[in-house]
A and B are shown apart, each in its own frame.
Chain A
Amino acid sequence: MIKLENVTKTYKGNVTALHAANADIAKGEFVFLVGPSGSGKSTFIRLLNREEMPDEGRIFVAGKDIGQLSSWKVPYLRRNIGCIFQDFKLLPRKTVAENVAFALEVIGRPKHVIHKQVPAILELVGLASKIDRFPDQLSGGEQQRVSIARAFVNRPLILLADEPTGNLDPATSVGIMRLLDRINRTGTTVVMATHDRGIVDTMRRRVIELDRGSIVRDQARGVYE
């Protein structure tokens, strides 16, 4: 599903964010990206979404070399990739339902599809009773559920999560991880960058550890360190 071949990414000022990284992630895998701040986890995620382009090496997503993708095709790549973030990136003026519907609306899904899928996905993430709330009326965990609903409503092949529990307390984080696990069980490949030792150690999934831009460990059913 995801393949990195000798991928190097250097930012301005010769900051090497990723150096000669190789990885092969199969369909339906759940992968944790761990490592200290600045080790290249976010760059890894941003490269998969083609928010960044590699300086060297090739990246394949769903069999396609995304470095070769012309820019007008990038939106179609992203429709197959859901993204969630530490800061949720919800639209404050829109309700829960509108936030989720927005993701379908802007890729041109017809109204009747939106009317059917939005309540269904909000039911799945456990927010059926709060569809008319605004983000600032929700707890952090609930906001992250909305953002997961938005990322997953289009049934992407891949879910990228950049520190999704970074702003949440441990109990809430467990709930979010249960949700991501459920999504993973539907066959969705999940790549999650995290600092959360407890989560990694409890879940016992594949762990890719980065240190100063290099992959220093790639371990099935691994732990945080």
Chain B
Amino acid sequence: MSLKLGYLLRETFSNLWRNVSLTIAAVITVLVSLSMFGAALMVGDGVDNATERWEGGIEFVVWLNPDIDAAQDSAIEETLLELQNRNQIDRFDYVDQEATYQEFLELFADSPETLEAVEPANMPPSYRVVPTDPDAEVISELASQFRERAGVRDVVLATEVIKEVQRTADRISQTTLIFSVVLVIAAVLLILNTIIMAISARRREIEVMKLVGATNWFIRLPFMFEGLIFGLIGAGLSIPAMIFIRSYLIEPISDTDALALLQGFEVSNNELMNIIYVNLGLGIIVAVVGSAVAVSRHLDV
């Protein structure tokens, strides 16, 4: 048995070494396809987490005119308090002109000319409202009653923002997924061809093996194993790639102050582990499919 394992490893690695450039190409393709696949899953997880966190406190924002008079302002506040008493609103925060200006400063930190044109007095103060019922229709009804009130400039539903973020993230995730699937197909074909090359390089050995009565699996196994190694190395290398993508692409999004919604855009360690497992599984599937097709088509034993 030890001899057989030794034989298997020896044959496999001599195949890998003989085709070293193809080996590298196959491993890289597996790595890149799995990394893109994992990135797509991470974006999906991230947006789920971001919007999930939002669900607890879906907001709408009542933007007031900068020059609103005190009577109009307190009338709106009264309505909000009344809604809170009727338990339709969980809580609401007043964001004054100075605080809004601070947000604005952060948001437009990169364009000083925009900042020069504004001062706190231009800023619209706002009420940020957390309704009790997260249902989108209820919220939109709640919000709409402020739209026509005196002194109100605009009412913005956070759900629209969420939906926009979800749509964008979905598009990113789907596009990445499509490219990753295309690359997965390329990986399968590359593994297939690499193994066909290995088989044809060993035609004579295979002929002799058949003649002296080596079993079919004995002949096939080194080639299957070779494919498996492409899959496993590619999937293994995708683990650091996943960690890199999380810290380099996903985490900066949640660190941004630009959009409060994105602060929940995170991928937890558990989710990362799950993605890694999925990648390992996919890597093995890619390898087995590629090498099984090569062996069954080109190794008629």
Q: Which residues of A contact B (CB under 8 A)?
A: 49, 71-72, 75-81, 83, 89, 91-92, 102-103, 105-108, 110-111, 150-151, 154
Closest 10 CB pairs of A and B: A78-B213, A79-B213, A106-B214, A103-B212, A75-B213, A75-B215, A106-B209, A111-B3, A83-B211, A107-B213
- Residues on the A chain within 8 Å of B4, using CB: 108
- Residues on the B chain within 8 Å of A106, using CB: 7, 208-209, 212, 214, 218-219
Is A78's CB under 8 angstroms from B3's CB? no
- Residues on the A chain within 8 Å of B160, using CB: none
Is B205's CB under 8 angstroms from A91's CB? yes
Is A102's CB under 8 angstroms from B208's CB? yes
Is B210's CB under 8 angstroms from A78's CB? yes
Instruction: Tell me the B202-235 residues at the A interface (CB within 8 Å).
Output: 204-205, 207-216, 218-219
Q: How many angstroms from the CA of A75 to the CA of B208 in the assembled complex?
A: 12
Categorize the interface residue count of chain B: 10 to 19
Pick the contact of A72: B205, B207, B211, B216 (CB < 8 A): B216
Is A107's CB under 8 angstroms from B214's CB? yes
**A72-B216, A75-B215 in contact; A105/B207 too (CB < 8 A)?**
no
Tell me the smallest distance from the CB of A8 to a CB of chain B, in Å. 23
Q: How many angstroms from the CA of A71 to the CA of B215 in the assembled complex?
A: 10
- Residues on the A chain within 8 Å of B214, using CB: 75, 106-107
Pick the contact of A75: B3, B207, B216 (CB < 8 A): B216
Is A91's CB under 8 angstroms from B213's CB? no
Q: Binary interface profile of B, 41-66, with partner A (CB < 8 Å = 1, else 0)?
A: 00000000000000000000000000
Is A110's CB under 8 angstroms from B3's CB? yes
Tell me the smallest distance from the CB of A197 to a CB of chain B, in Å. 28
Is B7's CB under 8 angstroms from A105's CB? yes
- Residues on the A chain within 8 Å of B218, using CB: 106-108
A-B pairs with beta carbons under 8 Å apart, 14 shown: A72-B216, A75-B210, A75-B214, A78-B212, A79-B213, A80-B213, A83-B211, A105-B3, A105-B7, A106-B7, A106-B214, A106-B218, A110-B3, A154-B212
Instruction: Tell me the B179-213 residues at the A interface (CB within 8 Å).
Output: 204-205, 207-213
Interface centre among B215, B218, B219 (most CB of A within 10 A): B215
Q: How many angstroms from the CA of A151 to the CA of B212 in the assembled complex?
A: 7
Pick the contact of A91: B3, B7, B208 (CB < 8 A): B208
Tell me the smallest distance from the CB of B131 to a CB of chain A, in Å. 69
Tell me the smallest distance from the CB of A155 to a CB of chain B, in Å. 12
Residue on B nearest A80 in the bound complex, by CB: B213
Tell me the smallest distance from the CB of B94 to a CB of chain A, in Å. 80
Given A91-B205, A102-B212: 20 more A-B contacts, CB < 8 Å: A49-B211, A72-B216, A75-B210, A75-B213, A75-B214, A75-B216, A78-B212, A79-B213, A81-B213, A89-B207, A89-B211, A91-B204, A103-B212, A106-B212, A106-B219, A108-B3, A108-B218, A110-B3, A150-B212, A154-B212
- Residues on the B chain within 8 Å of A89, using CB: 204, 207-208, 211
Is A77's CB under 8 angstroms from B213's CB? yes
Interface centre among A77, A102, A106, A108 (most CB of B within 10 A): A106
- Residues on the A chain within 8 Å of B208, using CB: 89, 91, 102-103, 106, 150
Residue on A nearest B206 in the bound complex, by CB: A106
Tell me the smallest distance from the CB of B213 to a CB of chain A, in Å. 4
